[in-house]
Amino acid sequence: MHPSASARHLALAGLVGPVWFTALVILQGVLQPDYSHVALPISALAAWPLGWVQILNFLVVGALMTAFGVAVHLGVRPSRGGVIGPALLVANGIGIVIAGVFPWVMVDGVPTETPGHVVGAIVAFGSISLALPLVSRRMRLDPSWRDVSTYTMVTGIAVLLLFVAMGAFAIDDGTPLHPWAGLIQRILCAIWFTWMIVVASRLRTQSR
């Protein structure tokens, strides 16, 4: 298969992943009305009675994110050191899979993050925060992607700032933004997923 054709097919993962993930998160919130989208992180859904749905969600979307990282590598012109950005996109997918393998659990009626999940979350959000600026640099060196490079950089900065805000000011009890931890995470995901859909759509178009 020609690399451009491979990029086009794999880029479909970047369109399906965000839609699949978001739809299942919304569905679980509807079916479990005692769960709060504003106060609780998405991962906490795994501690509820329908937690297997969120675990499946992580595993499927992690695989799709990995495929999307390969699509970006194949679809944007190679550059010196340019493989690092897409490799981090692949690591992002692996981190999401780890999050699914080590889900949140309910302890004495309180949804609780497990150590393995902490590792998965750090890998997932840390890698996407680092990946986007590096992918932006590679895009800037490719004339057919140069117009998307600044958008990619700005997205990376926004994701990084929100990730730091989550970890420092929202996740732990007693932190100032804790009541809105879920909302902050969803804003982060909305920014990240929108970028994925834009890039995946471009990959699908340019590799025809």
Tens-place pLDDT, residues 126-180: 999 999 999 999 999 999 999 999 999 999 999 999 999 999 999 888 999 999 9
Q: What is the per-residue pLDDT for 2?
A: 53
Q: How confident is the model at residue 3 (pLDDT cuts 50, 70, 90)?
A: low
- Residues 48, 34: Cα–Cα separation, whole Å: 9
The two structure tokens encoding residue 82: 């340019």
What is the value of pTM for the model shown?
Answer: 0.94
Q: What is the per-residue pLDDT for 207?
A: 60
Residues 105-136 have pLDDT tens digits of 999 999 999 999 999 999 999 999 999 999 99
Q: How confident is the model at residue 4 (pLDDT cuts 50, 70, 90)?
A: confident
Q: What angle do CA 87, 91, 93 make, to 5 degrees?
A: 120
Residues 65-80 have pLDDT tens digits of 999 999 999 999 999 9
Mean pLDDT, the chain, rounded, equals: 95
50, 62, 112, 132, 174 from 27: Cα distances, Å: 10, 19, 21, 29, 29
